[in-house]
Structures are given as structure tokens and as C-alpha cells.
Amino acid sequence: MPRLARSLALALAGALLVAPALAAQETPTEREAARDIVHTLDSLEHALALPAMVARLTGPDAGRDAVAARAKQLMDTELLAMGDDITRHPEIGFTEQRSVKILTDWLTAHGFDVTVGVAGLPTAFVARYKQNNGGPNLGVIVEYDALRGTKGAFHGDQHSTQGPIGLAAAVAVAEYLTRTHTPGSVTVFGTPGEEMMPPAAKTVMHDAGVFAGMDVIVRSHSSMATSRPAAGFGTCCMNIDGTKYTFSGAPAHQLTAWNGRNALTAVIHFFDNVDGIRSNLRPEARIQGIIVEGGAAPNVVPDRTVADFYIRYPDEVYLAQETEMVDNAARAAALATGTKVKIDHYGQARDGISIGTLDELGFAYLKKFGGTNVLADPGKPQGFEETGSVSSDIPGMGFTSQTSSAPNHTYEMLADATAPIGHHGFTVDAQAMSALLYDFATHAEYRAAVKQEFATIKGLHARYLDELKKVYVLPRVPDPQ
């Protein structure tokens, strides 16, 4: 057994004997209810001796520096311009034909075999380097869809350059493996419609086995800061129940509205009901909804309305209770207005796993290559990709250097995508991503530590959910007297 893996195994045997206070998990309820499990997570991170590992891997290494330099050269000479072009021609999810052609044509020209339309998704693709040479299998996720805005599609989340970043890292590492006859394979996964979830394209692709066999997967995302998550079960923002509420009424002339039943009144009551229950929900709950159908004409009582909701909570146990309360708010609105409601839980997303062996090393490289607005402390745990399906099964990391001074999903972040702050952050991401992939490909002991940490955290998840179920107890409401 390699030395690092052996020391990790010994540390795990006594993990509960140590109780350091790291940032594992997000809410006070989680940290208290699953205290032993959280202590195990914290002890695991200490046992890994991550600072020493990071210092060793980030030390002088001519091969790694050459790979990072190649990624930077590709960004400077070709790929920043590609990102700017995609930024100026936004396409919303599952319609990204132009963007996909740009990305896949470039990959083809740089030695990749490309298959478009995987998992039944027309704008999903897989690109495998033609000179791949066995394991380890390195995966790179790229995205390219734009946001849906009232003024039209726009890249206010900078997905436009996530693709070029991933391409730079993939080609830089693939070329190195080939040139040095180092074992390893590089695969790029084009994942459409990130902003259209749930259900998410990555989940569809994962269920179809598209990511099978990967030993690690990386991706990048825009951010206002250079940061990384804490290790643990993902709690970020992606435990989501996607639900549509369709209200059915009866039409009538608005001057004699009593002859009908107003579905618009029902959906408005529904929103009021949701606002009314917020004080009875835990403070971390997030409920976000829009009316996607509200009637056809002012002089006709609307007999059909539709609301689309994302219901979120850091853990999936309480999320089930939260969703039931929102469903009941819709039922109450229908009852009060004489309408009927159909509730469609059309999709869900669950956050995944983050691990320190990847996140701490990647963060060190983000700083090494010039990331700005650096957040010293780790944030809350979150999977490396936002649906959890992939990051609950395959170790990985999301790279987030500062690429904007504005929040996500804004026109200001769109402007920064083609500005110096965006270009600098994108290049930092590409360099850091290529450096981590190089380390993963060339250090067997590091790969073993990543694999064992991931397996250990994943193995604790069921126990963690069981502990939460014990504390999220519904209050007893007596019958009225």
C-alpha cells in the first residue's frame, strides 16, 4: 500500500477520537445532528496532512510548468478569442449548435475524435484524444449555454468561456502525455443546458453511462472570488426539487366573472401562501418561482395558469418537508378559489461530494497562477458539478478563480466576460486545471489518496441522512377543540 494511502487508512481507524472544527457541512442542524460524522469528516481532512501534500506537489516541477504554460499559450493565442465569440453569440440550453460546432471543430483539429448527440441530447458531445494510452482517465466537463433573460439570451454566467478553458487544459495535458509516453487518457464532455435544470443534461448523460470509467473530472465556473469548498457532502445550492403547478379554472366574461373560476387568482393566492409559510421554514430554505402562463386576455377569466418553482434546501431530508409545504400551499389556493391544481415534480437535483485532496491542491494552483480576490477560508461543501449525480460517483473539482467583480446572472458579469478581469481569471483557471490534471496523471500516490478520501466520504452519506431524519421531526398538531 502506498505510504500516503497507508497513513490515511490508519488515521481513519481513529478518526472519531479527534474533534477539530473545520467547515464540514453548512447548517447548525447538520453539524449538531450528525456530530460524529462531521467529526469524522474533519478528522479525515486533518489526517491527510493536506498542507504538506500541497506543498510537495506544487514545488518545482518542469513538466507541470510546461503543461500550464501550454494552456496559457492556447488561451492567449486562440481560446480567449473563441470565448469572446461565443459570448457575443449566446444560445440557450439545448439549442447551442453554433457553440458546439466551434468547440468540436477545434477539438477535432487538435487530435480528438468527437461524437455529437450523445445520450439522446443533440448538443451534448464526447471528445476522446486519439492518442489516449490507458489509465488514469482524465475527464474535462465543458459548458456553453446562455441564460434566459427578458432581453434575450445572454452569458451572464460566463459559460461562454468555460468551454475554451477546458479545451486548453485538455489539450495541454494530452500533448504532454503523448510526448513523454506517460500512461493516461483525456476525454472532454460537452454538457448542454446547465441553466435548464432540473432534470439536468449531466444527469441524463450520467444515467446513460457517458462518464463511466473516469478517474477524475474537472470543470470551471465564473466567480466573484478565487475560492474552494470545504470537503464533505454537497450542501451548496443544488439540492433542488423542480415543480410545476398548473391551475385549472373555468372561463367567463370578466364583467360576469362569477360565472367562471379564475386560475390567475388561484396562482396569485399560491404565491401569497408561499410567502405566508416562509416564517415556518428553516432559514436556509429557498423557494423561487415564476408564473409562466397567466391568462390570454384581460376580458376573459383565465382558466389555466402555470407556475414553475425551484425549491431548495442544503440537505435532501428537510427539502422533502419543505416541498410538501409548498405543495400544500398550492392545494390551499385551489381550494380557496374553486379551481383545481396539478402538481408535477418534473425533476430534481442533488448536490454531490467535495474532497480536500483535489480542492486544496487546485486552490493552491489558482493562487500560484495569479487568482485575484482570494478567499482564505473554504466555503461550504459542494459537488464539483451542480447536479450531484456525477460528483456523487466520480471524484472531481470545480475551478473558480475571480472572473468578474459582479454577481452571477447579471449583465455586469456578461460585460466582464470579454474584459481584462474575465480574461485573466479564465487563463488562471486553465493553468490551474492543467496543473492538477498533470499531478493526477503523474503521481500514483496522489491518485490513491484522492480515491480513498472520496470513497470514505461517500460511505458516510447514508449514515448522515439517517441522523438528519431523527431531528427533522414534524410538530404534532392536535385537532381543534
Instruction: Output the pLDDT for position 21.
Output: 40
E-only strand ranges, 382-426: 396-399
Instruction: Output the pLDDT for position 23.
Output: 58
Handedness of CA 436, 437, 443, 447 (dihedral sign): positive
Strands across the sheet with 304-312, in order?
286-293, 304-312, 240-248, 340-349
Q: What is the residue-level pLDDT of the chain in tens, covering all 481 positions?
A: 444 445 444 444 433 333 334 457 778 888 888 888 888 888 898 999 999 999 999 999 999 999 999 999 999 999 999 999 999 999 999 999 999 999 999 999 999 999 999 999 999 999 999 999 999 999 999 999 999 999 999 999 999 999 999 999 999 999 999 999 999 999 999 999 999 876 689 999 999 999 999 999 999 999 999 999 999 987 767 789 999 999 999 999 999 999 999 999 999 999 999 999 999 999 999 999 999 999 999 999 999 999 999 999 988 999 999 999 999 999 999 999 999 999 999 988 888 999 999 999 999 999 999 999 999 999 988 998 877 889 999 999 999 999 999 999 999 999 999 999 999 999 999 999 999 999 999 999 999 999 999 999 999 998 989 998 998 988 999 999 9
Q: Which CATH number fits domain 63-236+350-443: 3.40.630.10, 3.40.50.300, 3.30.70.260, 3.20.20.70?
A: 3.40.630.10
Instruction: Output the pLDDT for position 236.
Output: 67
**Strand 185-190 to strand 137-142: parallel, antiparallel, or no bridges (unpaired)?**
parallel
- The domain segmentation of the chain, as residue ranges, is 63-236+350-443, 243-349
**Which residues does 434 contact at the CB level (< 8 Å), separation at least 6?**
67, 68, 70, 71, 168, 169, 172, 173
Strand partners, 114: 127
Q: Cell match 473539482: residue? A: 397
Instruction: Output the pLDDT for position 14.
Output: 39
| Contact criterion met (CB below 8 Å) for 374 and 401 | no
Instruction: Output the pLDDT for position 198.
Output: 66
Instruction: Tell me if domain 63-236+350-443 and domain 243-349 are identical in fold.
Output: no
Instruction: Output the pLDDT for position 196.
Output: 86
CA atoms of 478 and 120, how far apart (whole Å): 51
Instruction: Output the pLDDT for position 418.
Output: 98
Please give the full DSSP string across 81-133, using - where no structure is assigned: HHHHHHHHS--BTT--HHHHHHHHHHHHHTTEEEEESGGG-TT-EEEEETT-B
| Contact criterion met (CB below 8 Å) for 398 and 454 | no
Instruction: Output the pLDDT for position 19.
Output: 32
Q: What is the CA angle 4-5-7, rounded to 5?
A: 65
CA atoms of 24 and 229, how far apart (whole Å): 9
Cα torsion through 56, 62, 68, 74, rounded to 10: 180
Region for 447 from its dihedrals, namely left if φ exceeds 0, alpha if ψ lies in -120 to 50, beta otherwise? alpha
CATH topology of domain 243-349: Alpha-Beta Plaits (3.30.70)
The full length of the chain comes to: 481
